[in-house]
Amino acid sequence: MSAVDVPLHAGLGGRIAGEFGARKGPRLLAGIAARWVLIAGSLASALAARRPYSPDARTVIVATLMFAGFAAVGLAVRRARVSVDASGVRWGWSWLGFRMERDRIVHVDLYRDAVALRPRRGSTWFLSARDWDRYDALALAVERAGLPATRHADRGAPFAARLQSYGRVLDGLLVLTILGSTLLVAIAASL
- pTM (2 decimals)? 0.81
The whole-number pLDDT of residue 11 equals 47
CA dihedral 63, 67, 69, 72 (to 10 degrees): -160
**pLDDT (0 to 100) of residue 186:** 94
Ordered per-residue pLDDT tens for the chain, 191 residues? 434 444 444 445 556 778 999 999 999 999 999 999 999 999 999 999 998 888 889 999 999 999 999 999 999 999 999 999 988 899 999 899 999 998 999 999 999 888 888 899 888 888 888 888 888 888 889 988 888 888 887 888 888 777 777 888 899 999 999 999 999 999 999 98
pLDDT of residue 13: 52
Residue 15: per-residue pLDDT: 67
pLDDT of residue 70: 96
